[in-house]
């Protein structure tokens, strides 16, 4: 049957929603890598801008401390205005206030001290607070700040500086711009490298694999469509090797299937015409049965039996060739009567060398396709008779049935030699299960298929086991259902 869903259509449905250049795996990886690198740069930027602001302000405190040393060389603490301005401009601050506990407050200040908008105490400020302050500075940028720090020499007291926020703001903006430029370059470089390596390591080999899959799907018989072997030890290498095994296996199976199909057609044709020829032979042999000659009378039944068997074989092979064995048509029937019917048609020897014991209860009524169950039992019966025929001792075939938990269980036993090793290995396999000269190896296969079509199973229970009561073979048929 033709697959209604074209895999290529399903494949292209999603990617078509995206612009062409974005459809490939590598382009998407390139963009994702760039975005992730930018994202990590942003995460790094947040603490580093806070750190930058703290360092800037700490430098102002340190510069102010240096400037304040001027008091040490002026005994009367009087400093000229021009020197004050020069000291303040060098320290990049607008005013310095020194408070030592034991010494009075001293200050260096512009002539018109500016009005302070906000005070920041750098001593013991927490990380989160520093980040918040940094972003406030970035947002405002034009306030006058009073920054409180401690003396660099760890002595008691504090050092205040008045700073123009604009100075700090400009430095922070310059720093941020540099970071943005740098992250851009880094993310592009990283993305490019990731892109190239992924392309070489994954995308190109994946393309080779998909191309081979598509080519193989289109023409599985083409040997060139099979992917080359890979020496890679990673997952791609494994995928490539597994694909190759799969393609090899599929091609072999395909060739075998084609051979079998051709063989099947040939066998069916031969069977069909052979059946017609045999029908004529049957007519002639029926007439032979009427001849009075004792020799002819003796051999005619055997001839007729052989022809019957040959016709049966043709019919069986033909019905096996048909993929659609008719579905079972269940009716309620007496199993005991069916077993009797089978005994009549199985070709039991007239000399009584094989006894047929029907142990099925009178009241055993099962619900199944009677015709198909007949075929199942007659195949088992013929096998048993064939196994028992050259035996010296008295042959015995017995059929018993009882109700189990899920349905009826039929046990078909004989006291023959058991299954030969070769038959056991391929039991229930068409054409390979036979270990008998002239056997086709279809009997048990057909029987099992028929029972399985009923939802049951045919299994070999024991064969030639020394522990078994008669040492022969026991097949078990399980048919689902319940006593009526």
Give the binding site for Mg ion (CB under 5 A).
Answer: 383, 443
Does 444 help bind ligand ATP (rule: CB under 6 A)?
yes
Pairing of strands 457-463, 473-480: antiparallel
Residue 164 DSSP SS3: strand
480 binds, among ligand ATP, Mg ion, none (CB under 5 to 8 A by kind): none
Q: Does the footprint of ligand ATP cover residue 473 (CB under 6 A)?
A: yes
Residue 458 is a binding residue for ligand ATP (CB under 6 A): no
| Cα–Cα distance measured from residue 20 to residue 443, given in angstroms and rounded to the nearest whole number | 61
Chosen from ligand ATP, Mg ion, none, partner binding at 442 (C-beta under 5 to 8 Å by type): ligand ATP
Please, which residue, 220 or 439, has the CB nearer to ligand ATP? 439
Contact, 330 vs 363, CB < 8 A? no
Q: Which stretch binds ligand ATP (CB under 6 A): 70-78, 90-98, 193-201, 411-419?
A: 411-419
84 binds, among ligand ATP, Mg ion, none (CB under 5 to 8 A by kind): none
Residue 190 within binding range of ligand ATP, rule CB under 6 A: no
Q: Min. distance of Cβ 363 from ligand ATP in angstroms?
A: 28
Distance of alpha carbon 439 from alpha carbon 409, whole angstroms? 28
Q: Applying CB under 6 A, does 130 fall inside the site for ligand ATP?
A: no
Stretch in the footprint of ligand ATP (CB under 6 A) among 199-207, 247-255, 337-345, 417-425: 417-425
CB 289 within 8 A of CB 304: yes
158 CB-contact burial (10 Å; exposed 0-12 / middle 13-18 / buried 19+): middle
Please check whether residue 226 is in contact with residue 251, taking contact to mean a CB–CB distance below 8 angstroms.
Answer: yes
Nearer to Mg ion, 300 or 442 (CB): 442
Q: Is 364 exposed, middle or buried (0-12, 13-18, 19+ CB in 10 A)?
A: buried
Burial class (CB in 10 A: 0-12, 13-18, 19+), 351: exposed
Which two structure tokens, joined as six digits, stand for 15? Answer: 């990617």
Choose from ligand ATP, Mg ion, none: what does 40 bind? Cβ within 5-8 Å by kind. Answer: none
Nearest to ligand ATP of 61, 376 (CB atom): 376
Instruction: Tell me how far, at minimum, the Cβ of 473 lies from ligand ATP, in Å.
Output: 4
| Contact in structure between 148 and 120 (CB atoms under 8 Å) | yes
Contact with ligand ATP (CB under 6 A): which of 328, 420, 455, 480? 420
Least Å distance, CB 264 to ligand ATP, is 15
Residue 366, binding choice from ligand ATP, Mg ion, none, Cβ under 5 to 8 Å by partner class: none
Structure tokens at 176: 């941020």
Helix (H) or strand (E) holding 216: helix 204-218
Please count the helices (runs of H) and the strands (runs of E) in the chain.
13, 12
Among 302, 371, 361, which Cα is nearest to 341's?
Answer: 371
Neighbours of 278 (CB within 10 A): 21
Q: Which stretch binds ligand ATP (CB under 6 A): 90-98, 113-121, 148-156, 439-447?
A: 439-447
To the nearest whole angstrom, how small is the minimum distance from the Cβ of residue 440 to Mg ion?
Answer: 8
CA distance 130 to 103: 31
Stretch that binds ligand ATP, among 220-228, 259-267, 326-334, 410-418 (CB under 6 A): 410-418
213 class by beta-carbon count within 10 Å (0-12 exposed, 13-18 middle, 19+ buried):
middle
Select the residue interacting with ligand ATP from 395, 416, 456, 481 (CB under 6 A): 416
Nearer to ligand ATP, 90 or 315 (CB): 315
Q: Where in 348-407 is the site for ligand ATP (CB under 6 A)?
A: 379, 383-384, 387
CA geometry: angle at 63 spanning 58 and 68, to 5°?
A: 125
| Residue number, 365 or 435, with CB nearest to ligand ATP | 435
Residue 440 binds to ligand ATP (criterion: CB under 6 A): yes
The site for ligand ATP (CB under 6 A) is made up of: 379, 383-384, 387, 414, 416, 418-420, 423, 433-436, 439-445, 473
């Amino acid at each position: 049957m033709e697959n209604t869903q074209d895999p290529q259509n399903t494949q292209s449905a999603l990617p078509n929603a995206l612009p062409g250049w974005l459809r490939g795996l590598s382009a998407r990886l390139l963009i994702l890598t760039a975005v992730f690198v930018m994202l990590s740069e942003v995460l790094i930027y947040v603490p580093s801008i806070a750190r930058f602001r703290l360092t800037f302000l700490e430098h102002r405190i340190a510069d102010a401390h240096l400037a304040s040393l001027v008091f040490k060389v002026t005994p009367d603490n009087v400093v000229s205005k021009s020197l004050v301005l020069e000291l303040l401009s060098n320290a990049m601050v607008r005013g310095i206030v020194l408070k030592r506990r034991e010494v009075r407050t001293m200050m260096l200040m512009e002539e018109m001290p500016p009005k302070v908008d906000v005070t920041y105490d750098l001593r013991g400020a927490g990380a989160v607070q520093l980040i918040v302050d940094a972003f406030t500075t970035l947002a405002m940028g034009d306030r006058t700040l009073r920054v409180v720090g401690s003396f660099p020499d760890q002595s008691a007291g504090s050092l205040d500086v008045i700073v123009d926020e604009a100075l700090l703001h400009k430095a922070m903006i310059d720093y941020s711009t540099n970071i943005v430029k740098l992250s851009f370059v880094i993310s592009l470089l990283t993305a490019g490298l990731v892109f190239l390596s992924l392309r070489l390591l994954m995308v190109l080999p994946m393309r080779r694999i998909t191309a081979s899959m598509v080519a193989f799907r289109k023409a599985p018989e083409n040997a060139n469509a099979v992917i080359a072997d890979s020496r890679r030890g990673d997952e791609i290498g494994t995928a490539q090797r597994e694909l190759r095994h799969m393609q090899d296996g599929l091609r072999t199976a395909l060739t075998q299937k084609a051979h079998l199909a051709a063989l099947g057609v040939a066998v069916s044709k031969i069977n069909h015409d052979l059946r017609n020829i045999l029908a004529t032979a049957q007519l002639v042999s029926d007439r032979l049965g009427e001849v009075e000659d004792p020799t002819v009378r003796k051999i005619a039944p055997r001839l007729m039996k052989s022809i019957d068997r040959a016709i049966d074989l043709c019919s069986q092979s033909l019905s096996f060739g048909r993929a659609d064995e008719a579905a079972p048509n269940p009716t309620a029937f007496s199993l005991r009567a069916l077993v009797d019917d089978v005994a009549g048609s199985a070709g039991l020897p007239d000399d009584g060398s094989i006894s047929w014991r029907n142990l099925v209860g009178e009241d055993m009524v099962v619900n199944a396709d009677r015709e198909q169950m007949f075929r199942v039992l007659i195949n088992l019966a013929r096998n048993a008779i064939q196994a028992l025929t050259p035996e010296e001792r008295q042959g015995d075939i017995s059929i018993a049935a009882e109700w189990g938990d899920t349905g009826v269980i039929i046990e078909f036993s004989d006291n023959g030699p058991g299954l030969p090793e070769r038959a056991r290995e391929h039991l229930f396999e068409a054409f390979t299960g036979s270990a008998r000269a002239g056997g086709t190896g279809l009997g048990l296969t057909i029987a099992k298929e028929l029972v399985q079509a009923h939802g049951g199973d045919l299994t070999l229970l024991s064969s030639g086991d020394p522990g078994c009561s008669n040492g022969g073979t026991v097949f078990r048929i399980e048919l689902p259902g319940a006593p009526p």
